Structure formats: C-alpha cells, structure tokens
Amino acid sequence: MVTNITNLGRSGLSDWLIQRVSAVILALYTLFIVAYLLFNPGLDYYTWSGLFAQTWMRIFSLLAFISLAAHAWVGLWTVTTDYMKSTGVRLGTQLVIILAIFVFLVWGIQVLWGA
C-alpha cells in the first residue's frame, strides 16, 4: 500500500464524499441565486442587500464558501498529486494553493459578515 504524506490521513472515500456533498451545496446555491435573479427582474441594491442581510442567507452563503474551498482543495490536491512528481515542487504548489484558498475564504467571510 502506498501512502503519501501530503494527503493528511484522508481516504479516497472521504475525498469523494467531500467532492459530492460540496458539489450539491454549490449547485443548490447556484440554482437559488439564478432563480432569485430571474424572479426579481427589477433588482436593485436595496433588495439585493436585503437578501444578504438575512441570517439564513448569510449562513447559506457561508456554507457555499466553505463548500467551494473544500471542493477546490480536494480537486487541486488530486491534480497536483497526479501530475507533479517532484515532491518539493508539489508541496510548494500545494502550500500556495492552501494559502490562496484560506485567503479567499477569510475574505469571503469578511465581506459576508463584515459591517
């Protein structure tokens, strides 16, 4: 059995499950946003900000942000481990990816829950 230090103890099943659950959450979020835009043709800033002022929408958006981060990490981890054979380059690339995903997630949370 081959083990890889960069997988942090995850199994293929957990990666598969993260990808599928996060994809469903992102699909539901996308469908909701598209439907909201279609059913509100005269959408203005106040209506849009009123939607995102709702706690349930902030939680739904936060769930979508976390799902996007998890989905991106599993996908990019898979690509880097499949195609980057040099351990140093792969670890460096994965570190940059982790940092970028973390920054985007924190930024999204700040925009969503900030003043």
Identity of the amino acid at 56:
W
Q: What is the mean pLDDT of the chain?
A: 90
Name the residue ranges covered by the structural domains of the chain.
Answer: 10-113
* Strands annotated E in 32-94: none
Write out pLDDT tens, residues 54-63. 999 999 999 9
Rounded average pLDDT over 1-21: 72
Per-residue confidence at 33, pLDDT binned at 50, 70, 90? Answer: very high
The pTM of the full predicted model, rounded to 2 decimals, is 0.83
Q: What percent of the chain has pLDDT over 90?
A: 82
Write out pLDDT tens, residues 79-110. 999 999 999 999 999 999 999 999 999 999 99
Residue 4: pLDDT over 60:
no
Q: Residue 77, Cβ neighbours under 10 Å: how many?
A: 20
Q: Does domain 10-113 have CATH number 3.30.230.80?
A: no
Identity of the amino acid at 69:
A
Cα–Cα distance, 76 to 68 (Å, whole number): 12
Q: Residue 9, Cβ neighbours under 10 Å: how many?
A: 7
Q: What pLDDT is attached to residue 12?
A: 80
Cα–Cα distance, 96 to 88 (Å, whole number): 12
Residue 35, Cβ density class (10 Å: 0-12 exposed, 13-18 middle, ≥19 buried): exposed
Question: Which are the contacts of 17, defined by CB distance < 8 A and separation ≥ 6?
Answer: none
Residue 1: pLDDT over 50:
no
